């Protein structure tokens, strides 16, 4: 345990009460968390299996655990829990299964599965616009928000102001009922269900509070209501915890994050200690001065100012381009020239933007100049719909208990099996204590779901059983895989479902690529047991995981990503494009008066840069077939003049908001929210 600055050391030493570490960008928060875990084990004699650390991404959890394991011998870290919130929730549900309505083989539905279920329910209940993607999207968002705010289906209607939204409250109840009938949970349930159990079962609550003797939480500003409630229920009155966060980097309110959880900490834990980490180890002082100046226009619960010992550094350049095509060309040529001049690797450069569409013109320019690039946030091969569908057919071949795979394919393509039938099937499977697939061929299925639906389900179950036997018995399973997918009618379904010939070809090519992967794995296998369909499918599932990991690993390519995706990363040379009104800040945020979050997004973008920062804007941006004049972003006027090179800037841009007034309004809102919470 060493190399900590005085404030970091304060955070490490505070172990007896509630602690908030206000960790500015690049302030070494991961070092603090990992060294604190080691300190708790080594010096405070807290067993590793009584310490839990939670974060939001698998990558962050892996990195944190790896760092701790470098600090201590393996026997000291045995039993340590370092996981995402949702992994913790899943582990909790498995431990406390008897306190749920779930069976041991419960499924976790992904976003596509949930969307499909909601669409079926909307069609069944003749809800207007059931075919509308926008309406289904709204339903998903509202149900997720209700869950994350711990609002149960019976109470959902009371939260609504628009009578037209009442259908969503009704849909929420139907959706929950069907999830339980399918012996399934969605992603939000992994937090909400543990909270419910801990709230209402004192015995379980006491057990887990004893089990989690010390809790550490990373990226605390991104927690939603349910996650914060989980934290409170796990720490109890002892309140032995450290949460690490930065309210200036709260950029996820659109997906439920509650930056006001910072204020709630002071309310719920009056003895809270706050340690500020303000020394930045990443950026030059010009970059930090720019970041501090911009974010100073937001109201703050806790004030802080980043500083660095890395010197002044280069001026921040602001470049005005004629249009968005000129902007893309300028960035591409700037990177090419800069790299040639300094002999850098490509991966030291990043181009950040507010919206994904901005990458299109940029990609074209980079390809033209033969500059290698990596586009973050693209759809992985295994995440494509047709691949997930075919893989689901193969998954239930090797695991008949995979209810999630069953639910994905039972009506893909359409077999006339509606949500009402699936609910009855789910209840029948629960009664028999078997999987959904096994229930299809169980005696009594026709009585349970009706004669017609029973015939359809029996045919499907027998179809899967037949191919399971054939594939397991055949030394060359590949032709059978093709035959099975053809026989399902899936290929015809792709042809009918595709919007144009190009999309059809792309989807069919993807399926062919999957077949090729299966063949390659069979041909490369040295042992006979590795040539079985079961072994091959399990390897493909692993390949999916590896692919996801690979995407996270650095490669020697220019990084292209949204400002949201860039959070937590750093690059030597950063270009932020589209610094214009209605883009950054975004048009929707201007309409909803949510400028503060957009400013935090700008702050995140600025603080990604280590050595050099370049901001670009256009005078005109393409709108359809025409060009439309655009205004410079108000955030450019908030930059300190002494630290920027902004040719032809006349000043006096967008009127600045009064920080004092913003702060007063913000604190008034917080007080009102806390008062309402007390009443509730």
Active site residues: 29-30, 218-219, 249, 608
Dihedrals φ, ψ of 672, to 5°?
-65, -40
Q: Which two tokens stand for residue 552?
A: 């996270």
Give the H/E segment covering residue 361. helix 359-368
8 A C-beta contact, residue 538 and residue 544:
no
Question: How many CA atoms lie less than 13 Å away from 562 in the CB half-sphere?
Answer: 14
User: Residue 481 and residue 547: Cα distance in Å, rounded?
Assistant: 23
Beta strand 609-623 with 571-576: parallel, antiparallel or unpaired? parallel
Q: Which two tokens stand for residue 113?
A: 């599965």
8 A C-beta contact, residue 635 and residue 596:
no
Instruction: Assign residue 343 a region (left: φ > 0; alpha: ψ between -120 and 50; beta: otherwise).
Output: left
8 A C-beta contact, residue 214 and residue 50:
yes
- How big is the chain, counted in residues? 680
Helices (H), 72-212: 74-77, 85-95, 111-124, 133-148, 153-156, 166-181, 189-200, 202-211
Burial class (CB in 10 A: 0-12, 13-18, 19+), 385: middle
Instruction: Look up tokens 């929730």; give the residue.
Output: 89
Question: If we measure between CA atoms, which residue out of 122, 138, 120 comes closest to residue 130?
Answer: 122
Burial class (CB in 10 A: 0-12, 13-18, 19+), 305: middle
Instruction: Look up tokens 């950063």; give the residue.
Output: 574
8 A C-beta contact, residue 113 and residue 389:
no
């Amino acid at each position: 345990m060493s190399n900590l600055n005085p404030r970091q050391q304060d955070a490490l030493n505070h172990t007896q009460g509630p602690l908030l570490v206000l960790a500015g960008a690049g302030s070494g928060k991961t070092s603090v968390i990992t060294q604190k875990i080691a300190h708790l084990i080594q010096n405070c004699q807290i067993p590793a299996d009584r310490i839990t650390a939670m974060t939001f991404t698998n990558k962050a959890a892996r990195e944190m655990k790896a760092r701790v394991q470098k600090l201590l011998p393996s026997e000291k870290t045995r039993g340590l829990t370092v996981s995402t919130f949702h992994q913790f929730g899943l582990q909790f549900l498995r431990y406390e299964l008897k306190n749920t309505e779930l069976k041991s083989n419960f499924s976790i539905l992904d976003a596509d599965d949930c969307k499909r279920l909601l669409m079926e329910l909307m069609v069944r209940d003749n809800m207007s616009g059931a075919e509308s993607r926008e309406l289904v999207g709204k339903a998903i968002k509202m149900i997720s928000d209700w869950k994350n705010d711990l609002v149960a289906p019976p109470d959902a209607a009371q939260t609504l102001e628009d009578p037209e939204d009442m259908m969503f409250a009704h849909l929420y109840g139907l959706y929950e009922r069907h999830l339980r009938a399918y012996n399934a949970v969605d992603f939000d349930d992994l937090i909400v269900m543990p909270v419910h159990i801990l709230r209402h079962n004192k015995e379980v609550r006491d057990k887990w509070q004893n089990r989690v003797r010390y809790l550490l939480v990373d990226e605390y500003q991104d927690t939603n209501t349910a996650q914060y409630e989980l934290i409170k229920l796990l720490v109890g009155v002892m309140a032995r915890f450290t949460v690490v966060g930065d309210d200036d980097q709260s950029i996820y309110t659109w997906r439920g994050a509650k930056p006001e959880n910072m204020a709630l900490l002071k309310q719920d834990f009056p003895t809270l200690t706050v340690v500020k980490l303000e020394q930045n180890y990443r950026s030059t002082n010009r970059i930090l001065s720019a970041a501090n100046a911009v974010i100073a226009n937001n109201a703050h619960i806790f004030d802080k100012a980043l500083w660095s010992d890395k010197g002044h550094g280069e001026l921040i350049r602001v470049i005005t381009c004629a249009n968005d095509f000129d902007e893309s060309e300028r960035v591409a040529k700037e990177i090419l020239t800069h790299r040639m001049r300094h002999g850098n690797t490509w991966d030291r450069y990043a181009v950040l933007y507010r919206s994904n569409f901005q990458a299109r013109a940029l990609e074209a320019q980079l390809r033209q100049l033969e500059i290698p690039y990596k586009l973050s946030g693209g759809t992985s091969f295994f995440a494509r719909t047709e691949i997930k569908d075919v893989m689901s057919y193969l998954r239930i071949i090797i695991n008949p208990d995979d209810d999630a795979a069953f639910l994905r394919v039972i009506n893909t393509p359409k077999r006339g099996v509606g949500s009402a039938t699936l609910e009855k099937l789910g209840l029948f499977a629960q009664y028999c204590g078997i999987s959904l697939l096994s229930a299809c061929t169980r005696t009594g299925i026709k009585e349970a779901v009706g004669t017609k639906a029973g015939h359809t389900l029996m045919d499907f179950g027998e179809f899967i059983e037949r191919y399971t036997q054939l594939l397991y018995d055949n030394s060359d399973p590949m032709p059978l895989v093709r035959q099975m997918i053809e026989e399902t009618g899936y290929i015809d379904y792709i042809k009918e479902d595709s919007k144009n010939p190009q999309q059809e070809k792309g989807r069919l090519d993807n399926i062919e690529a999957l077949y090729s992967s299966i063949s390659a794995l069979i041909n490369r296998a040295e042992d006979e047991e590795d040539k079985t369909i079961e072994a091959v499918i399990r390897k493909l599932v692993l390949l999916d995981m590896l692919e996801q990991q690979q995407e996270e690993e650095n490669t020697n390519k220019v990084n292209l990503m949204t400002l949201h995706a860039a959070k937590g990363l750093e690059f030597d040379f950063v270009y932020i494009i589209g610094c214009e009104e209605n883009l950054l800040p975004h048009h929707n945020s201007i309409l909803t008066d949510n400028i503060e979050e957009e400013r935090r997004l700008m702050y995140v973008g600025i603080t990604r840069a280590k050595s050099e920062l370049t901001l670009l804007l256009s005078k005109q941006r393409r709108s359809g077939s025409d060009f439309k004049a655009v205004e410079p972003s108000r955030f450019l006027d908030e930059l300190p003049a002494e630290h920027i090179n902004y040719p032809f800037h006349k000043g006096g841009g967008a009127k600045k908001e009064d920080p004092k007034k913003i702060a007063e309004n913000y604190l008034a809102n917080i007080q009102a929210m806390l008062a309402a919470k007390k009443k509730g």
